A and B are shown apart, each in its own frame.
Chain A
Amino acid sequence: MRKDIVRIAVLATAAAAIGWTDAALRPLTLALPGASGAGPPEAGMTPGGPWVTLDQARTLHLDPTVAFVDASRAEDWRRERIPGSWGLPPEEFAGGGFPALLDQLSRSSPVVVYCQSDQCEAAELVALRMVEFGFSDVRVFRGGLAAWKAAGFPTQTAG
């Protein structure tokens, strides 16, 4: 028993040391450019930075130069989305891959990324990946489809 405990401690320590070193060698960026602190404020989002309020999202949606990207699962995107949104789940970037869809978007155009609600992290993840691929104006609509629908704004369904 004591021997097993020692072995577990050795394995755990070795894994932690390797993991710590790996994290130092390959640092991750988890925050979007311009984002401050640990994440978006839950309410009363301030203008500026990568976060977009519901009203701002509505205004941006009326601008034809702004691309809306839905980071929800493909089946969720197919079922219902903000009209005109591109479907781009994080899995499309698996292993550092470049989704073909991004070729259809201009890297200098404003992009608003959202997912199902403020309970999903997919929008931030897709936004970060897009920034990595050179998109210069990527914002996140944290409220997502749920907030959009709750406000009574139109959606696009299957098709």
Chain B
Amino acid sequence: MTRHETVDAGPNAANPATLRPARTSRGTALTLVRILLGGLFVWSGVSKLLDPLFFAFALKAFHLGLSDAAVSRLAFIIPWLEALAGAVLALGFWTRASAVMVLALLLGFSTGIISLLVRGMDVRCPCFGATELVCEGPLGVCHLIRNAILIALAIFVATRPRR
């Protein structure tokens, strides 16, 4: 018996028959999270693109010192980043890359929300256009908690083992 076979034969051995259900359930969870998160980002991006002026004014409200021309471009580029990363993630190719992009966007949005809270500013959530998902009212702690959950999901997908 080789050393390799001895290790595999132990009581906690990686028996393919016992590992399969766990791998399958993790695979199913990954697929569900991928589609949910990706779909959410597609929705978020498209709803902003349908009403770019609404999102542009939310960006203005951050008082980042950007010119109107820069805000106008960002009002299109950010939603396209969301929509493209979300679509790629939901469709299941370039999964890790798109999950990292979604993660980066979520971290960026959360930083923006924290800066608003610190400055005591009242800005409507432009997250899904005029639609409010779970959190109502101005950007605040509820939106941060919602983002934290989404960040956890994005990390879950981004750190999946390579097949």
Contact = CB atoms under 8 A, between A and B. Distances in A.
A84 interface: no
Contacts of B120: 119
SS class, residues of chain B in contact with chain A:
helix
Interface string A15-43: 11011101100111011000000100000
B56 interface: yes
A155 B133 CA distance: 32
Interface in B16-69: 49-54, 56-58, 60-61, 67-68
Interface residues of A, number: 37
B71 interface: yes
Interface string A105-148: 00000000000110111101100110000000000000000000
A151 B83 CA distance: 46
B155 interface: no
Contact of B130 (A12, A15, A22, A94): A94
Contacts, number: 108
Interface string B92-103: 001011101100
B54 A125 contact: yes
B78 to A, nearest CB: 7
Given A23-B77, A121-B61, A14 B72 contact: no
B57 A11 contact: no
B75 A28 contact: yes
A28 B72 contact: yes
A19 B79 CA distance: 8
The 3 closest A-B pairs by CB, nearest first: A19-B77, A7-B97, A94-B130
Given A11-B97, A18-B80, A95-B51, 20 more contacts: A8-B101, A11-B81, A11-B94, A15-B77, A19-B73, A19-B79, A22-B80, A23-B76, A23-B77, A30-B53, A30-B72, A38-B68, A73-B137, A90-B124, A94-B51, A94-B130, A95-B129, A121-B57, A122-B124, A124-B57
Interface of B: 49-54, 56-58, 60-61, 67-68, 71-73, 75-81, 83-85, 88, 94, 96-98, 100-101, 120-124, 129-130, 137
